């Protein structure tokens, strides 16, 4: 197996694990505790974006259009959410 493929898949897996294990539960805790999700949104959207980018690159390396298309949509949507979250945090709402 190509080393670049293993490297990208490993990064995508790490970002997926961090997103699912650390970011989402922390976001739920903050929402339930403070009824405010803004502080945690940056990390959730950042790791979601990185996760989708990693899987998209993996799909490109495999030449698998299903992975590229599905995760490409994730890159687009999480990128928009990440940008919007930064925009809100900068006080431009």
Q: Which domain holds residue 34?
A: 3-89
> In terms of pTM, does the model score above 0.85?
no
Cα–Cα dist 65/82, whole Å:
25
Determine the distance from the C-alpha atom of residue 42 to the mean position of all C-alpha atoms in its chain, rounded to a whole number: 10
Number of domains the chain contains = 1
How far CA 54 is from CA of 6, 39, 90, in Å, comes to 11, 24, 27
Report whether 55 contacts 74 (CB < 8 A): yes
pLDDT tens, residue by residue, 26-69: 655 655 565 455 556 677 778 888 988 998 998 999 998 888 88
């Amino acid at each position: 197996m190509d080393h670049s493929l293993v490297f990208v898949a490993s990064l995508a897996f790490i970002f997926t694990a961090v997103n699912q294990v650390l970011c989402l539960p922390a976001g739920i805790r903050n929402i339930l505790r403070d009824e405010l999700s803004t502080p945690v949104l940056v990390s959730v959207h950042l790791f979601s974006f990185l996760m989708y980018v990693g899987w998209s690159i993996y799909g490109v390396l495999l030449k698998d259009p299903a992975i590229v298309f599905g995760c490409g949509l994730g890159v687009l949507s999480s990128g928009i959410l990440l940008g919007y979250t930064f925009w809100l945090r900068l006080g431009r709402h």
